[in-house]
Amino acid sequence: MTEQPPSPLPSSSHPPQPIQRKVRPARILSHGLIVGAIGFTLGFCGPVIFAPQANQGPLLGIFITGPLGFFAGIIVGAVREFMRIRG
């Protein structure tokens, strides 16, 4: 029989595993909610402050800047999350 050379690692330790990072949808969603809330607030309050005579001013925040901010935040959050995973 041939003898096996001694292992450089002790028998009780395991070889190091690479770090596996997972996508966290909550982080992506939080970006969307934060940016969407900022867009909604600016779109809702901006027309009230700068054009108080316009009775349809708050609709800008409800229908345009809020949803656009949400989707922009989702895109930014997804890009940041995938960049975090790539390392």
Q: Digits of tens for pLDDT over the chain (87 positions)?
A: 677 766 665 555 666 776 778 989 999 999 999 999 999 999 999 999 999 998 998 999 999 999 999 999 999 999 999 999 987
Instruction: Say if 34 falls within a structural domain.
Output: yes
- CA-CA distance, 6 to 13, in Å (whole number)? 14
> Can you give the pLDDT at residue 86?
87
Instruction: Say if 16 falls within a structural domain.
Output: no
Instruction: Say if 12 falls within a structural domain.
Output: no
Domain, as residue range, for 63: 30-86
Instruction: Say if 55 falls within a structural domain.
Output: yes
What one-letter code names the amino acid at 72? Answer: A
Instruction: Say if 72 falls within a structural domain.
Output: yes
Q: Which structure tokens are listed for 81?
A: 């999350």
- pTM of this structure: 0.75
